[in-house]
């Protein structure tokens, strides 16, 4: 149990909680100067102090390896800036935009793909900039879906969220409001009935996409928080990042997907790790990710299957990266691989 009941926000807090050792402090000061730290009591309570490779600790406790930069890494790994027509908006695909409401999160993940753009040191979206962003959405009738992201949009107060959702709902061509969040795991108590009500709006569909990477993140409190959305008629999907030493083994990944489904959360995306600076120690190979996906396909319910996605560096968007089960021998003659690895011919049309 985190004795203070407060979010741990710096190395002194982490040292008091015995989550970093004095010998690590010098290197970690450099990491802390560059990237935000926050570990909520709910997350701190999940960390097993006896396990030096604890998968929860690995996601949130700063590591000196974050100082290692590789030439293929980028401060903007998925090209947000190249698709940002006005502050706060990323318009990469024709029918949807990201609306980045805040740069704050309840917790700061060490692998975050926007780690150079988020944290308390980054300025928030000012009211005038929000007006401009909403005017952009209103002026583009092709925008069918708005994804609220950040940072974590659910960090905002229910009153503020209700206002923003109402303004989006007033735009006739916006049919879907999707909210990307880690809050139900990071701080489940903040998913209050008032917050859930703030996200619902008549005539528009609201979806929540939960970010979680390890089955232990779905604590009893987190499950109850997710149930508050589902019980209110808000569908919940999942997104996870494939992380070395966290969920890159078949049993853990399968257990995570089953935990989602048991919570009425449909597995949506398994992201290959983005090329964010200082995150190489947490990335896997694509081949390993495909092997894990093959294992899921064979051994777990169809409900437990996310799509394995790569956000192409440079802002070219997401593509599914397999594995592929179909090959074309000659035009019209297919080979399909079954879940045991057997190959079968699918006959051409008569
Ligand atoms: S919650 Fe999301 S935006 Fe915030 S640090 Fe984690 S990955 Fe990044």
- Check if 318 is active-site: yes
**Could you tell me if the CB of 152 is within 6 A of ligand 1?**
yes
pLDDT tens for the chain, 350 residues long, are 565 689 999 999 999 999 998 889 998 999 999 999 999 999 999 999 999 999 999 999 999 999 999 999 999 999 998 999 999 999 999 999 999 999 999 999 999 999 988 998 877 789 999 999 999 999 999 999 999 998 999 999 999 999 999 999 999 999 999 999 999 999 999 999 999 999 999 999 999 999 999 999 999 999 999 999 999 999 999 999 999 999 999 999 999 999 999 999 999 999 999 999 999 999 999 999 999 999 999 899 999 999 999 999 999 999 999 999 999 988 888 999 999 999 999 987 77
Quote the pLDDT of residue 1: 57
- pTM recorded for the entire structure: 0.96
- Check if 226 is active-site: no
- Check if 152 is active-site: no
Tokens read off for 132: 């401009």
The strand ranges marked E within the chain are: 89-93, 96-100, 145-149, 176-181, 205-211, 236-241, 265-271, 307-311, 318-320, 326-330, 333-337, 343-346
Which atom of ligand 1 sits closest to the CA of residue 111?
7
- CA-proximal residue: ligand 1, atom 8 (nearest): 112
Catalytic residue among 114, 115, 162, 216: 114
Distance 107 CA to ligand 1 centre (A): 7
For residue 139, the tally of other CB atoms under 10 A from its CB is 9
| Whole-number Å distance between alpha carbons of 100 and 190 | 20
Question: Which residues, listed in sequence order, are joined to residue 149 by a DSSP beta bridge?
Answer: 100
For residue 51, the tally of other CB atoms under 10 A from its CB is 11
Distance 105 CA to ligand 1 centre (A): 6
Catalytic residue among 112, 226, 263, 304: 112
- CA-proximal residue: ligand 1, atom 3 (nearest): 151
**Could you tell me if the CB of 98 is within 6 A of ligand 1?**
no
């Amino acid at each position: 149990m985190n004795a203070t009941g407060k979010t741990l926000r710096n190395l002194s807090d982490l040292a008091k909680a015995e989550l970093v050792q004095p010998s690590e402090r010098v290197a970690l000061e450099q990491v802390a100067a560059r990237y935000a730290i926050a570990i909520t009591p709910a997350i701190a309570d999940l960390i097993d102090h006896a396990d030096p490779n604890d998968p929860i600790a690995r996601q949130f406790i700063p590591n000196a390896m974050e100082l290692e930069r590789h030439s293929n890494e980028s401060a903007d790994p998925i090209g947000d800036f190249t698709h940002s027509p006005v502050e706060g908006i990323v318009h990469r695909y024709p029918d949807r935009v990201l609306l980045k409401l805040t740069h704050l999160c309840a917790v700061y993940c060490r692998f975050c793909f926007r780690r150079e753009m988020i944290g308390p040191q980054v300025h928030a979206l000012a009211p005038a900039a929000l007006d401009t962003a909403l005017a952009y959405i209103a002026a583009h009738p092709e925008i069918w879906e708005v994804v609220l992201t950040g940072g974590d949009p659910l960090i905002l107060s229910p009153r503020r969220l209700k206002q923003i959702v109402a303004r989006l709902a007033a735009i006739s061509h916006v049919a879907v409001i999707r909210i990307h969040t880690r809050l139900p795991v990071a701080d489940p108590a903040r998913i209050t009935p008032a917050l859930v009500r703030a996200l619902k709006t008549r005539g528009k569909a609201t979806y929540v996409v939960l970010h979680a990477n390890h089955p232990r993140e779905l604590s009893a409190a987190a499950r109850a928080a997710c149930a508050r959305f589902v019980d209110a008629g808000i569908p919940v999907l999942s997104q996870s990042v494939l992380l070395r030493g966290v969920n890159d083994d078949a049993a853990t990944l399968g257990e995570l997907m089953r935990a989602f489904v048991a919570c009425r959360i449909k597995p949506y995306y398994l992201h290959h790790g983005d090329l964010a600076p200082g995150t190489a120690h947490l990335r896997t190979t694509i081949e390993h990710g495909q092997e894990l996906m093959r294992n899921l396909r064979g051994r777990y319910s169809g409900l437990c299957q996310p799509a394995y996605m790569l956000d192409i560096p440079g802002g070219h968007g997401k593509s599914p990266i397999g594995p592929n089960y179909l090959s074309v021998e000659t035009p019209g003659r297919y080979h399909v691989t079954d879940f045991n690895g057997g190959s079968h011919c699918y006959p051409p049309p008569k």
